[in-house]
Structure 1
Amino acid sequence: MNSRVFAVVDELLPEVTRVNLNSASVREKLENNTQNQEQQGRVGAAAVGVLGNSRSLDLSVYSSNEQNGDALDWRNDERVRRSCEVGKALRVAVLVSGGVDSSVALRLLCDAGHSCTAFYLKIWFQEDFENFWSACPWEKDLGFAQSVCDEVGVELKVVHLTDAYWAKVVSETLAEIRAGRTPNPDMLCNSKIKFGEFLEHIKDTPFDRIASGHYARVERVGLESEGEIVQLCLSPDAVKDQTYFLSQLAPSQMSRLTFPLGWLTKAEVRGVAEAMGLANKQRKDSQGICFLGKVKFSEFIERHLGEKEGFMLEAETGEILGVHKGFWFYTIGQRQGLRLSNGPWFVVAKDVEHNVIFISRKYFSEKKRRSFRVGSLNWISGHIPLDVTTMRCKVRHGPKMYNCSFEFDGNGSSAVVFLAEDDQGIAPGQYAAFYQNDVCLGSGVILEFSLGVDQQVNVSALALEAAGSCMDIDVWKQSKNAKSRSAYILKGEVEERRRGSRSQQSTSNLENVNESSMLVGAPSSFPSEEKVTPTADAGFWPLSTFLPQLISWLRKVS
């Protein structure tokens, strides 16, 4: 192991990182700089802020050519030395998953001379999905993790957090889906399990740092003994950057963290894994939600929430276009899986109470939005930024950012966010993360507006009324064969017509509707002069009588 330990020689470091924090002049400048920026409600972008008034670190200076990742000399690369805190001789608890990223992180920390112990968090509940695989997926992950630990020469411990994961991530995810929102299990996993339950698990052990293979930077400004400020900063790899998923962390959690891959790109990490000869160097990255493995999210939802048929209504007209298997399978902006012709169609809204989803062809032209409300705001620094006029925002994981500003409510627990550009896929239940320069300030949950207020641009009054007055699905399926597809039949009218029909016909007549009859009732909001009297045959509206009235009424209200 000693042959791989870095030599701690300041002369090898560039001027930008060679800062003697014991120097009185530097300490004075650091304290003044920190106080000034704290008064403005923000802290400098990185430790280099102590050298001047620079607010942002130019990540491009530190980003190597991604095509040359395999050429990285990780033992002497100043970025790696910085992110691994070379020279501090720390005791580090390293979270490993069996994947390439966490394995490289472990090896880098060991090479940096730290005393490391590896931990594998077992969160699988594979017994719920025994029909989806022949072998437990976590056993393969654990096998790779053990192989890497054996190569590096560190102990691997398995921590069982299945019950906590179910209670704090899976159950909350299901509750959000039942409420019609789009949750983010990975956000919950980081804040409540990896850096929540796990920190509680090791609270009585003397670890200085908790490390993982996340693509994010941890910058420490100032002296730990004098109130060190810890910041979460962007990775130079904009595509892999994971600050969005870490933006719900609390100050007490951030103070313990270190991310050895913080200054590296994915291509560089792959190259380092090859150069190190790790057992899992060729292993593919995991995709999807961490606890599902090979199980599709839709399969997971079906297993725990089941199916319940509901109508798909056209947002502009309220016309029934089809039947879905439960609103919880769909998210705002979704295009795939609707199985409708004459598209493309998009989900633009959901009526949770009536199990209705509204769809439209005009999603991209009408669903654009520049403002939304957020709640449950979490600020990594522990305080609300005073300057909220120069922030940037991510509304999902990925490189896209928007310039934005805030308007807080009275107590600061929620706010309206104003984007400088339109976004087409803002989904209630997801998170919006906020940044100043390259520092992630925190995040909040995107709130769901009432259907009539927030989504009225997309969903017409006709469609909203139709959602609450749709016929029974079984009746619609029967009438579909008779080309009766309008949504405007009140449930009470359906029952009344059934009773009227039975008094004059056999009970089977409703099951044999011919094309001359419509299972459609005139809405009570029709103008009185336009109403007509139902025919005597069981109270149905003849097609030739009803359609002209409907067309005339629609023209008046449109």
Structure 2
Amino acid sequence: MLKQLAGRTVVTVTSVLPSLFPPKPFSRLPTIKLLPPNSLSLASPSSSRPRFYSLVSQISHQRGIFDGASFDPYYLSCCMPEKRLRVAVLLSGGVDSSVALRLLHAAGHECTAFYLKIWFQEDFENFWSECPWDEDLKYARAVCNQVDVPLEVVHLTDEYWKNVVSYIIKEYQCGRTPNPDVLCNTRIKFGAFMDAVNGMGFDYIASGHYASVIHPSSDEMNEPSVLELSKDMVKDQTYFLSHLSQAQLKRLIFPLGCIPKEEVRKLATTFDLPNKDRKDSQGICFLGKIKFSEFVARQIGEKEGIILEAETGDFLGMHRGFWFYTIGQRQGLRLPGGPWYVVDKDVNNNVVFVSRNYFSIDKNRRSFRVGSLKWLSDRPPQETWQLQCKVRHGPGFYNCNVTIEQSEDEDEEVAVVQLSEDDQGLAAGQFAAFYNGRTCIGSGVISESWDDQGFPVCEKAMEIAKLEDKSKLGKPVKIKVKPESPLEDESVQKDGTEIEIAVGS
């Protein structure tokens, strides 16, 4: 059981494998001089690769590692194989974290796996019929049993509810769209958990994230650790890690930072993992198989409101509550003659504005403000930067200019961001992550569009939204079917099949 930390909630730990925690001390092997492994994983010159192979082969020969499996030793380049470490590995039961564990084990590190249980406590009033984490834990246990790695279950339900879920609910009630994954990494996985195992003798904490951390060499320990893009740009998760602190980053290893997703799947087969054919999980981690809209309805409730066309003010129908909708959303509107998109919300009057012209070139946004800034190096940024920016998870970047200013109340610094191109889905509450080349330098929360290039809502629509008695509007208007045009709807392919566009979510 983890002891209570000063000023923090008690974190309960249930041992899955008996008498294996903490691991016994081990004797360190002679240190082998090696180039910083993570720097080789991204864009290392081909001349460095043979040297790395030679050194890793030397290490593997000394330690008798690779778990009896045959694979490219270069896959260990993000595992710091030149050292013998004690590593706390976050294990979810999925393929990615399982392969990360096996790579760390193959690199000769002494690993202890931890499964974080953030589902609601058994006495919490929940209306789901099956346990969402039982299957995950079963797979995590089976993966650990293959190589006799101890597994601990850490209960962080209270911490997750206090630091993530309650924040999400408050943001939705204010009409913003928060990002639970960023918060979970910052406040739970590498927050509450990292604090809980602090002082237990672990050199690093590892997970199956697709990202790369470059730590300074032993003679440059005062220099900051650096978060860089993973080799797999599609799976890259630096966006979700961009709000970490330097203190958090310095304690992390991401073994998958140098490996494409397809190779991770092959490694799962090579290691004969029990979950090698398991599909990747989707959605928010604490919800399991439940839709987020159902959870929001349970926590916030529903309040009927009206849907207005932004350009005309026409009353089109009813909605369940503005907090169920985000800018750029298409699903859930249930309006004929579409596709329709949410373009704005009146939070005070519970009104949702929609349009079929969401992708018109004159209605896009490219300037916005970002608050709650956090820089990974802990160093204040320059006054003006020319950087790259992600406004959502995915491989896409924008070039941007970033200027740091004081907020109106002078309480904090804000970044004024000017994108090189228009973006249709900027959503207040989402994170904007900033990059300098391949290096992620930090992030903040999108607060507003401020250059008057947001979607224009007509005066009539604004006045109707303020009506106290909206029953006077009568029945919704009959929506006229819009003539088809290949330029008007980017969500329809040439064969007429609709594809899903997830903007600002």
TM-score (norm 2): 0.79
Task: Tell me which residue corresponds to 2:189.
Answer: 194
Q: For residues 457 and 61 of structure 1, what CA distance do their matches in structure 2 show?
A: 52
Cα distance between partner residues in 2 of 1:149 and 1:193: 22
User: Corresponding residue for 2:437?
Assistant: 437
2:211/2:229 contact within 8 Å kept: yes
Change (3 A) 1:349 1:440: same
Aligned to 1:329: 324
Q: Deviations over 1:2-43 (max 9, x none)?
A: xxxxx9997xxxxxx95499xxxxxxxxxxxxxxxxxxxxxx
Look at both structures and tell me which one has the larger radius of gyration over its CA atoms.
Answer: 1
Aligned to 1:115: 110
Cα offset for 1:270? 0.4
Contact 2:384 2:404 in 1 (8 A): no
Structure-2 change in CA distance of 1:108 and 1:449 (3 Å): same
Does the 8 Å CA contact 2:115/2:153 hold for their aligned counterparts?
Answer: yes
Q: Tell me by how many angstroms 1:220 deviates.
A: 1.7
Alignment coverage as a number of residue pairs: 427
Kindly tell me: are residues 121 and 468 of structure 1, through their superposed partners in 2, closer, same or farther at Cα, counting changes over 3 Å? same
What is the percentage of aligned positions where both structures have the same residue?
Answer: 54
Contact 1:313 1:319 in 2 (8 A): yes
Contact residue 190 and residue 196 of structure 1 kept, 8 A = yes
Q: Find the aligned partners of 2:160 and 2:217 in 1 and give their Cα distance.
A: 35
Residue 231 (structure 1) aligns with: 226
Within 2, Cα distance between the matches of 1:152 and 1:215?
A: 23
Instruction: Note the C-alpha offset of 1:99.
Output: 0.6
Give me the whole-angstrom Cα distance separating, in 2, the residues matched to 1:94 and 1:381: 24
Query: Which amino acid in 2 is paired with 1:432?
Result: A
Query: 1:354 matched to which residue of 2?
Result: 349
* In 2: Cα distance, 1:418 partner to 1:61 partner: 40
CA change 1:113–1:449 in 2 (3 A) is same
Q: Which residue of 1 aligns with 2:456?
A: 458
Deviations 1:294-353 (A, max 9, x none): 000111111111110001111112221111110011110111211112222111000000
Contact 1:181 1:448 in 2 (8 A): no
Q: Take 1:143 and 1:78, find their aligned partners in 2: how far apart are those partners? A: 29
Whether contact under 8 Å (2:384, 2:402) holds in the other structure is: yes
**Equivalent position of 2:9 in the other structure:** none
CA contact (8 A) 2:363 2:454 kept: no
Picking from 115, 140, 149, the partner of 1:145 is 140
Equivalent of 2:173, from 152, 162, 178? 178
Measured in 2, the distance between the counterparts of 1:226 and 1:457 equals 49
Match in the other structure for 1:546: none
Match of residue 407 from structure 1: 403
TM (norm. structure 1) is 0.71
For residues 161 and 149 of structure 1, the distance between their equivalents in structure 2, rounded to whole angstroms, comes to: 21
Matched to 2:373, the amino acid is L
Alpha-carbon distance between aligned partners in 1 of 2:454 and 2:84, rounded to the nearest angstrom: 59
1:99–1:61 distance in 2 versus 1, CA, 3 Å: farther
Name the CA distance, whole Å, in 1 between partners of 2:114 and 2:219. Answer: 26
Distance 1:342 1:386, change over 3 A: same
Shift of 1:156: 0.4
Deviation at residue 472 of structure 1 after TM alignment: 3.0
Gaps (5+ residues) in structure 1? 1-6, 11-16, 22-45, 50-55, 64-72, 486-558
Is the 1:368–1:422 Cα contact (8 Å) retained in structure 2?
Answer: yes
Mapping of residues 85-484 of structure 1, within 5 Å: 85-125=80-120, 130-133=126-129, 135-223=130-218, 226-365=221-360, 366-386=362-382, 388-410=384-406, 413-448=413-448, 454=452, 457-469=455-467, 471-473=469-471, 475-476=472-473, 479-480=474-475
Shift of 1:470: 5.2
Shift of 1:170: 0.3
Report deviation, 1:79: 3.6
- Given residue 109 of structure 2, which amino acid in structure 1 is its aligned partner? H
- Contact 1:83–1:261 (CA<8 Å) still a contact in 2? yes
Q: SS of the counterpart of 2:442?
A: strand
2:18 corresponding residue in structure 1: none
Superposed CA RMSD: 2.9
Counterpart in 2 of 1:518? none
Q: Deviations over 1:439-476 (max 9, x none)?
A: 000101000358xx857652122211221125334x54
Q: CA deviation at 1:126?
A: 6.8
Note if contact 1:231-1:381 (Cα within 8 Å) is conserved in structure 2.
yes
Distance across 1 between alignment mates of 2:85 and 2:70: 18
* Alpha-carbon shift at residue 74 of structure 1 (Å): 7.9
Q: Is the 8 A contact 2:239 2:392 kept in 1?
A: yes
After superposition, give the CA deviation of every residue in 1:99-157 in whole Å (9 maximum; x if it has no partner): 11111111111111111111110001175575433x31211111110111111111101
How far apart, CA to CA, are the structure 1 residues paired with 2:88 and 2:200?
10
Kindly provide the CA deviation profile for residues 28-71 of structure 1, in whole angstroms up to 9, marking residues without a partner as x. Answer: xxxxxxxxxxxxxxxxxx7479xxxxxx94799999xxxxxxxx
State the secondary structure of the residue aligned to 1:113: coil
Q: How far, CA to CA, are the matches of 1:385 and 1:94 in structure 2?
A: 32
Counterpart mapping for 1:55-94 below 5 A: 57=43, 77-94=72-89
Partners of 2:211 and 2:45 in 1: CA distance: 12
Q: Which has the higher helix share?
A: 1
Mean Cα deviation higher: 170-179 or 457-466: 457-466
Q: Which amino acid aligns with 1:244?
A: Y
